[in-house]
Amino acid sequence: MSKVKNIQLNREMEYPYEESRPRRQIAYIFDTNKCIACQTCTVACKTTWTSGKGQEHTFFNNVETKPYGFYPHGWDVKLLGMLGPGEWDGEGTYNGKTIFEAAPPGERALGFLPEEEDYASPNLGEDISAGSVPQGAFFQNIHNIWMFYMARICNHCTYPGCLAACPRKAIYKRPEDGIVLVDQSRCRGYRECVKACPYKKIFYNMVTRVSEKCIGCFPLIEQGEQPQCVKTCIGKIRLQGFLSKPGEEKEDNPLDYLIRIRKIALPLYPQFGTEPNVYYIPPVHVPRLFLKQMFGPGVEEAIAAYRSAPRDKKLLAALLMFGNTPKIIQRYAVEKEEAVGFDGMLQEAVRVPFTEPFFQRDFFDKKHQVYRHNIS
């Protein structure tokens, strides 16, 4: 095992390979407050990449309802139980074991192989809230019954569990953008990767007998376009871009700004230790202890910053980059009352006003001699 720096844990940790960060790291932000669980992302991904034989249970993208939704069943609660307790100190340092540090003798990571039936119900727990409303209760104000939708894809981790566990060295991380891929000609289907991925985002194909995972839509990325699941998102909850190397963050890169500078988007289960690169804006209505277990320390500050966005043009401008262009936004700026995004060639790709223009038509249209309803 080598000693590598995990910036999400704020400490060094053990990993089977040396630290080797890509030139820039593919990263995503998902705003959980905006997801409506329409599953458009799921279908867009499925029809693009996994409609073949042996891929019936494969969802590179899925959307589950927390707290009771899982795909595969129990993926996170089971691993959390195996990992045991861990604490975050006041400095934001994790004092507990990662999946690599808790690996059983002779193995590279702590994990488990889901049973076949765990993949049988992708929408298990959908729309089920935490707790129930007592008989006779009626709505008075904000109530304490909650749930939220959580979209999930491969995290293209900085320290992938799948890559660490593969005995064939069939999994690799691209130096140019950090996308994690399986070389299927090397894979022999041992499923060590499925066992070791803490997010269960690598799938075994029973027909081809090799492992398959999200490829980050790299043919699109290479054309300067965001992945299918991002482009098609109805709720405009997603933004994909690139994170700079730690210490080289740029204020005008929306990913650097939202994740590393303002810290309003947080990693999912950072305590697993893989340094995942899908970051979530936490749901504002969910009990903080639950969120802290899921997204680590900094939840309270992230929510406070998110709520301040209407009064903070720079932050609001970064949030307006979500879902408004298929292009990958590499730089952004505030220009008067508009947010402007630039692509990799630094050409303007999108311009969004802070306030939606408002038009009101006359109730009575003299020209056509008609009355109009819904006039604004």
Mutual angle of helices 288-295 and 299-307, in 10-degree steps: 110
197 binds ligand SF4 (CB under 6 A): yes
- At its nearest, how many Å lie between ligand SF4 and the CB of residue 156? 5
Contact assessment for residue 290 and residue 67, using Cβ atoms and an 8 Å cutoff: yes
d(CA 167, CA 286): 40
Among the listed ranges 93-101, 118-126, 193-201, 215-223, the one in contact with ligand SF4 (CB under 6 A) is 193-201
Q: Which of 9, 26, 29, 41 binds ligand SF4 (CB under 6 A)?
A: 41
Q: Is the peptide bond before 67 cis (omega within 30 degrees of 0)?
A: yes
- Nearest residue to ligand SF4, by Cβ distance, number only: 235
Cα angle 244, 260, 181; round to 5? 50
Q: How far is 179 from 214, CA to CA, in rounded Å?
A: 9
**Contact flag: residue 154 with ligand SF4 (CB under 6 A):** yes
Identity of the residue, 197 or 340, whose beta carbon is nearer to ligand SF4 in the bound complex? 197
Pick from 278, 202, 261: which is nearest to 31 by CA? 278
The correct pick among 45, 80, 151, 286 for binding ligand SF4 (CB under 6 A) is: 151
CB of 100 or CB of 340, closer to ligand SF4: 100
Which of 22, 69, 72, 160 is the binder for ligand SF4 (CB under 6 A)? 160
Q: How many residues form the binding site for ligand SF4 (CB under 6 A)? A: 28
Contact set for ligand SF4, span 266-285 (CB under 6 A):
274
Residues facing residue 4 across a β-bridge: 13
Among 27, 29, 45, 180, the residue binding ligand SF4 under the rule CB under 6 A is 180
Closest CA to 160 of 225, 214, 241: 214
Which residues are 11's β-sheet partners? Answer: 6
The contact set with ligand SF4 (CB under 6 A) reads 35-41, 63, 149, 151, 154-157, 160-162, 180, 197, 199, 201-202, 213, 233-235, 237, 274
